[in-house]
Amino acid sequence: MHVLILGGTTEGRRLAELLADEAGVRVTSSLAGRVAAPRLPPGEVRVGGFGGAEGLAAWLAAHHVDALIDATHPFAGTISFNAAKAAAVAHVPLLALRRPGWVAAEGDDWHEVGSLDLAARALPALGERVFLTTGRMGLAAFAGPELGAHWFLVRSVDAPEPPFPARMDVLLDRGPFTLDGEREVLRSHRIDVLVTKDSGGAATAPKLVAAREAGIPVVVVRRPAGPEGVTGVATPEEAIAWVRALHG
């Protein structure tokens, strides 16, 4: 049985590890290639796009894929819709592996918005020293003159490319992050507002706890809607059960 994982996430790597131990299962992980030195999962790995839904459907057929699992980042967006279209065309079962989103706790000061542009508009009323943890893509939303007085600490795995905020320091780092480490980042950089996407998961959640403890407001970008009608699970273990049911 050949399983293709659209990965690049912690859950995708964990699923590849589990499938590598399954008898009679061949696993291939596809990574988008946006990170220069990604952590490679076990099994076969391909890097780069497919050329849209049609290209993915052709790849599924050419490589005799029996099951497709979309374990991409909750904000990957386009690839999830392409996966749904390709799976329908190629008649390949599709599963979405999505970590649960974060839930505000008592004491949190969250400001939920629907996009990075709306996150940027919310900042003038909340603070001027911004911890921006939305990754290196989409920084143009925070580069406008209306935020010229703001200072940004941008954390990403790889160095960002312009356009980006005029007043900015870059912190190159990769999760998982610790609570003590996040407390120190907020303290040493005198952060007064945090901006994050609702990525979910434990690897980057400590920043939310640190912000709550410090009384710092958090601008949370909500997840975009995914394709309808796709079966979804929250953990790699549930995905393994789905594969086993298909495999018999």
Cα separation, 71 vs 94, whole angstroms: 11
Structure confidence by residue, pLDDT tens digits, 2-31: 999 999 899 999 999 999 999 999 999 999
- The 10 Å Cβ neighbour count of residue 42 is 14
Q: What average pLDDT values come out for the chain (248 residues) when binned by 10 residues? A: 94 95 94 78 93 97 98 90 98 96 96 97 97 93 95 95 94 94 98 96 92 98 94 96 91
Structure confidence by residue, pLDDT tens digits, 196-222: 999 998 888 999 999 999 999 999 999
Instruction: Give the pLDDT of residue 36.
Output: 67
Instruction: Give the pLDDT of residue 39.
Output: 80
Position of tokens 């911890």? 131
pTM of the model: 0.88
* Domains of the chain: residue spans and CATH: 2-100+224-247 (3.40.50.720), 110-221 (3.40.50.20)
Instruction: Give the pLDDT of residue 43.
Output: 93
Terminal CA-to-CA distance of the chain, rounded, Å? 10
> CB of 9 within 8 A of CB of 17?
no
Compute the mean pLDDT over every residue in the chain, rounded to the nearest whole number.
Answer: 94
Instruction: Give the pLDDT of residue 77.
Output: 76
> CB of 127 within 8 A of CB of 142?
no
Q: Which candidate, 204, 243, 241, places its Cα nearest to that of 75?
A: 204
CA distances from 235 to 9, 72, 95 (A): 12, 13, 12
Give 110's strand partners: 218
pLDDT > 90 fraction of the chain, expressed in percent and rounded: 86
